[in-house]
Structure 1
Amino acid sequence: MIFFLLIYFMIIFTVIEIFVVLFRLTRLKVEVSRFQVISMMTGTGFTTDESELISGHPIRRKLATFLILFGVFSMAVIISSISEFLSNGLRLMEIGTVAAAVLLVLAILKLSGVQRLLFYFFNRKMEQTIELADYPIREIFLKNNGDTMIGLRVYEDSQLANRTIRKVVPNIDEADLTVLFIKRGNLTIRKNIYYTTLHEGDQLLLYGNKKVMLETFQHDIDVMKKHS
């Protein structure tokens, strides 16, 4: 029984490493990949913000589907196997064969040539069949370490209230940041953003260099934190 459990957990850990490699080949960081793989297999922790990197990416979503199903069925297998052990005894040869096959798959995926082929295949498939809108927003905008996106809400005591962005930040065109749109109730304003007078309750989506953004809108960010 103990030998069976050792083999079972070895298979589980090997499957985890296989999918860590596969997720990494879709340009997901190793540390994020490992946590999300374990989360999906165990059904815990997948509701973290990082799960958007999985659910918003078509290829990762397919890998995740298999992992979730594997986690469910593997638990059913271990329960049925324990029952079989208690009744008739287990055939360790078959279990060992499965373990060897899984280890072989991992060994093949570790080969640099195979990884280059899969990396090309994953990214080629994305370029051919996936629309830009299907990518997670982080994959598109936040490629540089200094980049960030901030949702800024205008309050009565904000410096932006009843003023235009151009008035508050005269050099906005030269600054390393962009205001993507203004959300006013159900209305989304995308034209003449810098010359639109802002009202209390308006929401701005800012994109650009984090340091520049914090320096430029520090007062409004502090006001927003105060009201939150």
Structure 2
Amino acid sequence: MAALVSLLTVITLSLVITRIATEALTLTGLSRESAKFQARSAFTGAGFTTSESEQVVSHPVRRRILMLLMMLGNAGIVTVVSSLVLTFISAAGPADWLSRFLLLLAGIALLLVLAKNRWIDRLISRLVNWALKRWTDIDLRDYAGLLRLHGKYGVMELKVEPEDWLANKLLSEAGLRSEGALVLGIQRADKTYVGAPRGSTHIRPHDILILYGRLPALAELDSRRAGIAGERAHREAVAMQQKLIEEQNKQEEQDKQDSNPQVLER
């Protein structure tokens, strides 16, 4: 009987763990249904077979949540299987085996009823949300994902090393906007944060810049070093951005003409 109690306890803990993970994933910006599916997939080891898997593995907080779920899931499955085997191996006879089987079904049915009860569902959601916000630093929304609007554009953190091209420059001197890179914020080495920095903001060594732009261009900027080569790379990046703007303007003009055929007729 102790094995049966242990089995039901493990199943209860599994439901609680996946529920906490669901709420945590929801706090990072996933829809509740997606969060529930991803949490259960990770815990059971079923894998990710949906287009949402990329949104999960590319987000560091979600990735940590699912890694923990996978680890707990492996331990939980082993415990469930061993408890299930012990529950029926230790039965004295067919009658005892049947009674334990019925108790197991009744216990699982009760847990499912409680898990699907709307009042209990709302209560658990509030408690889990309060606890996660109180004792964790999970981001409320995946802003990097929201800003990854199309194609190769996205958000990237860039740590400024002393030998980098950006080090010891004013933001206006760097001219990053002319390269198509927007500085959303700067995390200083002393943990202070500069939001929406202006042109007079000084870029210091060991700062972390939060940048938005074309990811290949941001990656090149991250590897750019001070000196003549760095200045040349800056001019090339500006020229590339100007070319992209010209192509975009041509495309917009073409779209206007396609949407207004009367202009062509005149």
TM-score, length basis structure 1:
0.52
Of 27, 31, 42 in structure 1, the residue corresponding to residue 34 of structure 2 is 31
Give the drift of 1:32. Answer: 3.9
Are the counterparts in 1 of residues 186 and 210 from structure 2 also a CA contact under 8 Å?
Answer: yes
Identity of paired residues, percent?
A: 10
Name the residue aligned to 1:123: 129
TM-score, length basis structure 2:
0.47
* AA of the residue aligned to 1:145: L
Name the residue aligned to 2:219: 221
Deviations 1:114-166 (A, max 9, x none): 32232233334556xx25xx222x33663982377522145799763552323
Name the residue aligned to 1:3: none
1:73-112 maps to which residues of 2 (within 5 A)? 73-81=79-87, 83-84=89-90, 91-112=97-118
Give the drift of 1:19. Answer: 5.5
Q: Rate the CA distance shift 1:73–1:190 in 2: closer, same or farther, 3 A.
A: same
Give the drift of 1:51. Answer: 4.3
Are the counterparts in 2 of residues 182 and 188 from structure 1 also a CA contact under 8 Å?
Answer: yes
Unaligned runs of 5+ in 1: 1-7, 56-60, 208-212
Are the counterparts in 2 of residues 154 and 161 from structure 1 also a CA contact under 8 Å?
Answer: yes
Q: Rate the CA distance shift 1:168–1:181 in 2: closer, same or farther, 3 A.
A: same
Quote the RMSD (CA, aligned, Å).
Answer: 5.2
Give the drift of 1:224. Answer: 3.6
Give the drift of 1:65. Answer: 9.9
Query: For 2:146, what is the secondary structure of its paired residue?
Result: coil
Deviations 1:59-117 (A, max 9, x none): xx9x99986764342132134356547x9667132223222222222223323333223
Are the counterparts in 1 of residues 144 and 155 from structure 2 also a CA contact under 8 Å?
Answer: no
Greater Cα radius of gyration, structure 1 or 2:
2
Are the counterparts in 2 of residues 40 and 67 from structure 1 also a CA contact under 8 Å?
Answer: yes
1:102-181 maps to which residues of 2 (within 5 A)? 102-125=108-131, 130=134, 134-136=136-138, 138-139=139-140, 142=143, 145-146=146-147, 150-154=156-160, 160-161=166-167, 163-169=169-175, 178-181=184-187
* AA of the residue aligned to 2:64: E
Of 51, 55, 64 in structure 2, the residue corresponding to residue 52 of structure 1 is 64
Give the drift of 1:206. Answer: 1.0
Deviations 1:202-224 (A, max 9, x none): 452417xxxxx115x86342344
Are the counterparts in 2 of residues 18 and 105 from structure 1 also a CA contact under 8 Å?
Answer: no
Query: For 1:139, what is the secondary structure of its paired residue?
Result: coil
**Equivalent residues, number:** 189
Of 176, 198, 201 in structure 2, the residue corresponding to residue 195 of structure 1 is 201
Counterpart-to-counterpart distance in 1, 2:93 and 2:36: 39
Query: For 1:160, what is the secondary structure of its paired residue?
Result: coil
